[in-house]
């Protein structure tokens, strides 16, 4: 039979060992017993017992540490991280180059503001990517159709509520093209809309080839004249005007007075001279304008973006609608044009006369 322990419940007590060692050292000092081989065995025993005690303490601490740890679990993320990682923002791709640039920049800014990833539609990528070094990922149309989007309409100016847009999958709508959305991110926006090298080089080569009296000019002023559909839409729908000869003469004279022999690089969607002398590609026209030192614009997002990217001085057509124009319900001039830009008021005599002439007809139609 196995031998029973004399003290089965007694644990190893280091204090007893220390007391015994103290007694033994005093006894040995008083008797002056010389060191011999059995003494070496005793010291070895003491060393072994002390090592076992030390290891017992370490193992006990390690076990407590393991038991106290929280097990790893793949559960819900904290609220802040979940808000940042779940869902996405996208935007409707509506309009032409200038409109889609405004939509891209607004999406870029509001997604950052709300802590959500941003994805652009494929058609926006097709419009912007051949010209600019944009970085937002593309959302394939097949994938987009399977997402339960929540449409969120934007006015054409920044509002406080846009900082806290609720919803997991948000699709921004409207025609946003206001610096109030993204101007605080100007360096990033300029980087997003930096030209591809071959596009920039082609525009630069065109400008390098221009000569004034046989010498290269020192100042280039980009001039964008918006015509096309605006010639009809502005007076008939919005009670406004497009830029006329008088406005352009004032704007160009301003730069002639400030700079020596400036060269005006004119682009337009409606002037025969532009069609004959400048490639009518909007991308090439836009690249030319951005490589100029200063800008004269009329109306429209194309000119606004050309001026924003070019920097320098900008002159724009101001007050181009009547005060009662419905256009002012969807457009705020102070949110469209940067404060440092210079506005030259439009001549509204023609549209005012047209508006007065239309009033009796409207009254007559209402009466009958």
Per-residue tens of pLDDT for the chain, all 368 residues: 445 444 444 455 556 555 655 555 555 545 444 444 455 555 455 455 555 544 455 444 434 333 333 233 222 333 444 344 469 999 999 999 999 999 999 999 999 999 999 999 999 999 999 999 999 999 999 999 999 999 999 999 999 999 999 999 999 999 999 999 999 999 999 999 999 999 999 999 999 999 887 788 899 999 998 776 777 788 788 899 988 899 999 999 999 999 999 999 998 766 564 555 445 578 999 999 999 999 999 989 999 999 999 999 999 999 999 999 999 999 999 999 999 999 999 999 878 876 666 654 433 333 22
* Burial profile 299-325: b = 16 or more Cβ within 10 angstroms, e = fewer: bbbbbbbbbbbbeebbbbbeebbbeeb
pLDDT of residue 267: 86
Q: Which of 333, 283, 313, 275 is nearest to 101 (CA)?
A: 283
pLDDT of residue 61: 41
Q: Give the tokens for residue 171.
A: 């699709």
Annotated domain spans of the chain: 80-187, 197-356
- CA 306/CA 220 separation, integer angstroms: 13
- CA 303/CA 111 separation, integer angstroms: 25
- CA 320/CA 88 separation, integer angstroms: 38
Cβ 219 vs Cβ 296: under 8 Å: no
Architecture of the CATH domain 197-356: 3-Layer(aba) Sandwich (3.40)
């Amino acid at each position: 039979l196995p031998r029973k322990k004399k003290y089965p419940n007694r644990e190893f007590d280091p204090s007893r060992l220390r007391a015994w060692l103290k007694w033994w050292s005093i006894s040995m000092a008083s008797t002056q017993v010389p060191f011999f081989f059995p003494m070496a065995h005793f010291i070895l025993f003491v060393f072994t017992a002390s090592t076992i005690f030390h290891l017992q303490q370490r193992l006990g601490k390690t076990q407590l540490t393991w038991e106290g740890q929280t097990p790893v679990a793949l559960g819900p993320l904290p609220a802040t991280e979940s808000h940042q990682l779940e869902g996405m923002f996208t935007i409707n791709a509506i309009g032409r180059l200038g409109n889609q640039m405004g939509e891209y920049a607004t999406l870029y800014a509001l997604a950052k503001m709300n802590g959500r990833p941003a994805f652009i539609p494929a058609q926006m990528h097709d419009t912007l990517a051949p010209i600019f070094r944009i970085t937002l990922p593309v959302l394939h149309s097949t994938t987009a159709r399977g997402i339960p989007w929540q449409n969120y309409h934007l006015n054409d100016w920044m509002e406080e509520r846009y900082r806290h847009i609720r919803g997991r999958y948000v699709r921004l709508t409207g025609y946003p093209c206001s610096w109030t959305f993204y101007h605080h991110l100007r360096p990033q926006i300029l980087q997003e809309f930096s030209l591809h090298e071959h596009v920039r080089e082609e525009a630069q080569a065109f400008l390098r080839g221009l000569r004034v009296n046989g010498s290269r000019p020192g100042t280039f002023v980009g001039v964008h004249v918006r015509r096309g559909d605006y010639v009809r839409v502005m007076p008939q729908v919005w009670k406004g005007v497009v830029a006329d000869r008088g406005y352009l003469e004032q704007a160009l004279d301003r730069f002639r007075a400030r700079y020596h022999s400036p060269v005006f690089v004119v682009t337009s969607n409606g002037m025969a001279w532009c069609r004959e002398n400048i490639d009518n590609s909007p991308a090439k026209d836009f690249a030319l304008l951005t490589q100029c030192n200063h800008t004269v614009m009329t109306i429209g997002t194309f000119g606004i973006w050309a001026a924003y990217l070019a920097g320098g001085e900008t002159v724009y057509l101001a007050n181009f609608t009547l005060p009662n124009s419905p256009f002012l319900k969807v457009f705020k001039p102070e949110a469209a044009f940067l404060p440092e830009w210079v506005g030259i008021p439009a001549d509204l005599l023609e549209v005012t006369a047209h508006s007065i002439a239309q009033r009796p007809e409207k009254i007559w139609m209402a009466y009958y």
